[in-house]
């Protein structure tokens, strides 16, 4: 299983599913990864036009009750590592880290990631950044 491509596909599906749930276009829907502790344990939120609508679990993003394939177990260590790397690189607290996942009008075939420190836009990041330890 190619974890990076599977994660991209999962995020695109989640954006589509939540856009339908909130009756908005996929360009208005975003997902947010935040850290819930100093270890970088991820928590997830659904946003519409950059406003938080609700917190969701990884299984809810996957749109499954049980993750028989263990995708959360596989992806979480990479996400945690990336959160800790951002924390070190930007000398910030874990609660200041926000990674926005969204679609762009210019290319709706893939998800994009942007790092925010608190509410300040810092830089785009790539899935390579998150899953770079695979190489």
Task: Express each pLDDT in 43-80 by its tens digit.
Answer: 999 999 999 999 999 999 988 888 777 778 888 888 89
82-121 pLDDT, tens digit per residue, is 999 999 999 999 999 999 999 999 888 899 999 999 999 9
CA neighbor of 3 nearest in space, from 64, 83, 76, 58: 76
CA 69 to chain centre: 19
pTM: 0.90
Number of residues that make up the chain: 135
């Amino acid at each position: 299983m190619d974890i990076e491509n599977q994660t991209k596909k999962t995020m695109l599906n989640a954006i589509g599913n939540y856009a339908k749930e909130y009756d908005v276009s996929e360009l208005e829907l975003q997902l947010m990864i935040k850290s819930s502790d100093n270890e970088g344990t991820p928590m997830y939120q659904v946003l519409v036009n950059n406003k938080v609508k609700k917190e969701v679990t990884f299984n809810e993003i996957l749109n499954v009750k049980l993750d028989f394939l263990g995708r959360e177990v596989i992806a979480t260590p990479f996400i945690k590592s990336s959160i800790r790397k951002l924390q070190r690189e930007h000398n910030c607290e874990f609660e200041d880290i926000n990674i926005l996942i969204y679609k762009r009008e210019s290319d709706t075939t893939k998800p994009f990631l942007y790092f925010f420190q608190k509410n300040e836009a810092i830089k785009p990041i790539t899935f390579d950044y998150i899953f770079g330890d695979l190489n």
